[in-house]
């Protein structure tokens, strides 16, 4: 998939253009091995997803493509055309190289493996 | 000179459609109100009704429903007595637990939709239903000879 992970990219300069974005619904679950983040982003195609991890802040953007063909008239509107933005602060270091993401039926599923050093370990008593 | 044929029912068509949408729970206005308020306070709560957009061009009506995380096999579309009902079963896996809940939305379909031609497509969590207008209900121009 087209998700890019730029672990140490320079922060983008704040542009003068104000853009309306909304926070998607999401769910985080986890085990001792990894976190799983599920983000609902209906209407976002694969190439509209951008994932960044920098300074333990995970940023997920989903560009929603609205293609209303010519000559079409809206009779009723409830769906928001706004794109999605979610920022999550991670309090456990994750292994950036082993992160993976897939987009399934409008839901982005991110798997963030926890770094070896941060996993709980058993210390045997001698 | 051109004359555009219109029948009384086709004049009322769009506004009928509109009226229905303002009262999606036409038989149960208080329940509809309740759900509307509920989804404002808890967006996306289970039991929330599906959000829908409706567009029209000269050949078709188009209804788009938001169904993130719903598989193709878990969508049911039914047309009954002029009411298009979409039901989606959403399954969520959380570790070893699996939960599911269903989302439903009914919209009134105007007269003059040819039921046989209704088509649906699921893409990126959006269900698009195309409802073709019957030939004899399309606006037509009559040339004056």
Which burial class, exposed, middle or buried, applies to A59 when counting CB atoms under 10 A from its CB (0-12, 13-18, 19+)?
middle
Closest CA to A68 of B125, B112, B126, B140: B126
Instruction: Tell me the two tokens of residue B129.
Output: 């239903």
How far is CA B100 from each of CA B4, B50, B53, rounded to the nearest angstrom? 51, 15, 25
Q: What is the percentage of chain A residues whose pLDDT exceeds 70?
A: 83
Please list every residue in chain A whose beta carbon sits closer than 8 Å to the beta carbon of residue B44.
25, 40
The residue that leads in pLDDT, B46 or A44, is A44
Phi-psi category of residue B124: left, alpha or beta, with phi > 0 → left and psi -120 to 50 → alpha: left
Chain B interface, best mutation among A1, A22, A40, A42, by max B CB count within 10 A: A42
pLDDT of residue B32: 43
pLDDT of residue B95: 64
ipTM of this model?
0.73
Look at B67 and A72 and tell me if their CB atoms are within 8 Å: no
Chain A interface, best mutation among B21, B61, B62, B68, by max A CB count within 10 A: B68
Which of B19-23, B68-72, B98-102, B119-123 has the weakest average pLDDT? B19-23
C-alpha of A42 from chain center: 13
Domains of chain A, first to last:
23-66+78-117 (2.60.40.790)
Mean pLDDT of A44-72: 87
The domain that contains B57 carries what CATH number? 2.60.40.790
pLDDT of residue B135: 79
Whole-number Å distance between alpha carbons of B100 and B77: 18
Q: Return the SS3 of B14.
A: helix
Question: pTM above the 0.80 mark?
Answer: no
pLDDT of residue B30: 42
Q: Where are the beta strands (DSSP E) in B9-140?
A: 52-56, 60-66, 75-80, 83-94, 97-108, 119-123, 126-132
Phi-psi category of residue A18: left, alpha or beta, with phi > 0 → left and psi -120 to 50 → alpha: beta
Banded model confidence at residue B92, pLDDT cuts 50, 70, 90: confident
Please list every residue in chain B whose beta carbon sits closer than 8 Å to the beta carbon of residue A104.
69
Mean pLDDT of A18-30: 86
Query: Which residue does chain A place closest to B22, by CA atoms?
Result: A76
Mean pLDDT of A85-95: 92
Mean pLDDT of B116-126: 92
Look at A105 and B57 and tell me if their CB atoms are within 8 Å: no
Range of the domain at B106: 2-143
């Amino acid at each position: 998939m087209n998700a890019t992970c730029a672990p140490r990219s320079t922060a983008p300069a704040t542009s003068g253009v104000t853009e309306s974005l909304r926070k998607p619904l999401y769910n985080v679950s986890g085990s001792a091995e990894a976190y799983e983040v599920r983000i609902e982003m209906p209407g976002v195609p694969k190439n509209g997803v951008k994932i960044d991890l920098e300074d333990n802040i995970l940023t997920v953007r989903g560009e929603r493509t609205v293609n209303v063909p010519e000559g079409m008239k809206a009779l009723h509107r409830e769906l928001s055309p706004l794109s999605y933005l979610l920022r999550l602060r991670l309090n456990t270091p994750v292994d950036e190289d082993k992160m993976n993401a897939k987009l399934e039926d409008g839901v982005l599923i991110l798997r963030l493996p926890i770094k070896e050093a941060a996993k709980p370990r058993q210390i045997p008593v001698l | 000179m051109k004359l555009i044929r219109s029948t009384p029912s086709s004049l009322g068509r769009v506004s009928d459609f509109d009226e229905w949408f303002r009262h999606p729970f036409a038989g149960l206005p208080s329940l509809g109100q309740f759900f509307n308020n509920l989804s404002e306070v808890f967006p996306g709560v289970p039991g929330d009704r599906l959000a829908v957009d409706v567009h029209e061009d000269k050949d078709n009506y188009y209804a788009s429903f938001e169904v993130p995380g719903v598989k193709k096999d878990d969508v049911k579309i039914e047309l009954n007595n002029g009411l298009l009902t979409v039901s989606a079963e959403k399954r969520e896996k959380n570790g070893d637990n699996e939960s599911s809940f269903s989302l439903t939305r009914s919209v009134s379909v105007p007269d003059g939709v040819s039921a046989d031609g209704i088509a649906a497509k699921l893409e990126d969590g959006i269900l698009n239903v195309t409802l073709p207008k019957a030939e004899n209900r399309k606006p037509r121009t009559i040339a004056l000879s």
